[in-house]
Amino acid sequence: MTTVLSFPAARWLPLAAALFLAGCMSHPLAPVTADAALPVPAHFSNSVEGQGQTWTTAAPAETQPRGAWWLGFADPVLTGLVERAADGNTSIQEAAARLAEARSLLRTADAQRAPQLGVSTGAVRQAGITTTGSAVPATVVTAGLNLSYELDLFGRLSKASDAARLDAQARAALLQSTRLLVQAEVAQTYLQLRAVQAEHGLVTASLAAYRDTLHLTQRRFQAGDVAELDVARVQTEVAATEAEALSLAQQQAQLQHALAVLVGEVASGFAVPAAAAEAALPVVPPGVPATVLARRPDVAAAQASVMAAQARVGVAEAAWFPAITLTGNGGHASPELGDLFKWSARSWGIGALLSLPLFDGGQRAAQEEGARARLEAAMAAHRGQVLTAFREVEDQLSALRLLEGQAEAQGRAVQSARRATQLSDSRYRNGLVSQLELLDARRSELRSQRQALQVRTAQYTATVGLIRALGGGWDVAPQAAAQALNLAVVAR
């Protein structure tokens, strides 16, 4: 029996054959599976006893505000610096520009899924069969509209759009991460500056005391009560303390210059206003969930990068299938420019274009392998980011726990050293002890006071580090931030 194909059936035969051939040649779409998630501990090992059972599951909130956590330090100067950095920091500006670029790429990817309409005009000099039916060379002038639309039958365009959308989400999270990092750096640098200023004040006060002792020793030397060796010893202490004061002044200048860069200003002429009082040391509320790590913008950015890489694997897999584009055009065509827009010169056409590379030298296979390799790299980076996040939280929690005991012990040392200096000074003025004992007592007191300041600075640094490790502040509303500030002040 002979079957005769009618013209409509024969017209679609090439398309059916191409689809059948594509199904035979295309690789199966293997599902992309991620590695097993990292086990999340029930509580941090360095959390305070009794607080480990308060952790709950929290939804990711990488694009939400981080909260005005710096208000917990109750320092208006710090608040002003953080606000200036939000506007002038160059790292934040760069991250914002990259986010804008990612969003423009998303719009470009979405535009590929929409119909494409354009205007065309031209003139062609050709020989052969023309619109006039003559083989004599003629000029054909055309003008019209062109319309094209690619059928996304296999999801190539939609997956590309999804990947671009996830890239934009990752950039938005990285912008939040940059803001949080800059805020933390501003806070830590400022608090270090205040600590160096306080330490400079201690050294300056000790220098004044040494100078008073030098004047007293010089008078006693002139009276013949002490030897010249005693004068030389005090002069040595005065000179050494002056050198320490100058070194601390240099550290102050360097920290101020670092703050100038962080807020986006020129270091020349930049100055930090004096603080009215010491900054408060806020306590992170114990009810903050451990899974607030899901709010860490860097972890969220890594997760979005994994999902974008997975979508691009789908794009690479869809390249094995044919691309079908519907086209249409309408306008006018005429061998005479004056007759171009006459009704008789109108022309139109519709069509469908199917493209499928049959042999590409392994290009599509290589692109798919590359996409899968980038997915594996993104998954490894995400796992590493999560591990780093947990390590940072544990580091800061252990630091705060140990520094609290160290601060209490150092406070006792300062009190004892201060009392020893008072007793030694009284006994020296009454001639009961030597000058060496007085100088040793003063050196011990100064060393204890400076160590206490350093411990206090370490507590500030660890507190800011913990806030950053947890993904930002624990309160978003201003009222909640004010309540946390009041609780921190009362705790002090």
| DSSP string of 41-66, one letter each residue | PSS-TTSPTT-GGG-------TTS--
Query: What does the alpha-carbon distance between residue 489 and residue 477 come to, in Å, rounded to a whole number?
Result: 19
Question: What is the phi/psi pair of residue 325, to 5°?
Answer: -125, 130
What are the helix (H) ranges across 150-296? Answer: 156-222, 228-262
Q: Looking at domain 14-21+38-115+154-323+363-491, what is its CATH homologous superfamily?
A: Outer membrane efflux proteins (OEP) (1.20.1600.10)
Local structure of 327: helix, strand or coil? strand
Question: What is the phi/psi pair of residue 439, to 5°?
Answer: -65, -40
CA nearest 251: which of 198, 212, 211, 297? 198
Element (H, E) at 448: helix 435-469
Local structure of 112: helix, strand or coil? coil
Element (H, E) at 399: helix 363-429
The tens place of each residue's pLDDT in the chain, 492 residues long, gives 333 333 344 444 444 444 444 444 444 434 333 334 566 666 666 664 444 434 334 444 555 555 788 888 888 999 999 999 999 999 999 999 999 988 888 888 888 878 877 777 777 666 655 555 555 666 666 766 777 777 777 778 888 888 888 888 888 888 988 999 999 999 999 999 999 998 898 888 888 888 888 888 888 888 887 788 888 888 898 899 899 999 999 999 999 999 999 999 998 888 888 777 788 888 776 545 555 566 788 888 888 888 888 888 888 888 888 877 777 776 666 665 555 566 666 676 777 777 777 887 888 888 888 889 989 998 998 888 888 888 888 888 888 889 989 999 999 998 998 898 888 888 877 878 777 787 788 888 888 888 898 899 899 999 998 888 888 775 534 443 344 334 333 333
Crossing angle for the helix pair 156-222 and 76-88, nearest 10 degrees? 140
Contact between 182 and 262 (Cβ < 8 Å): yes
pTM of the entire predicted model: 0.75
Query: What does the alpha-carbon distance between residue 356 and residue 149 come to, in Å, rounded to a whole number?
Result: 17
Angstrom distances, CA of residue 40 to CA of 47, 91, 266, 288, 473: 15, 32, 45, 16, 21
Angstrom distances, CA of residue 251 to CA of 197, 199, 237, 261: 9, 11, 21, 16
Local structure of 176: helix, strand or coil? helix
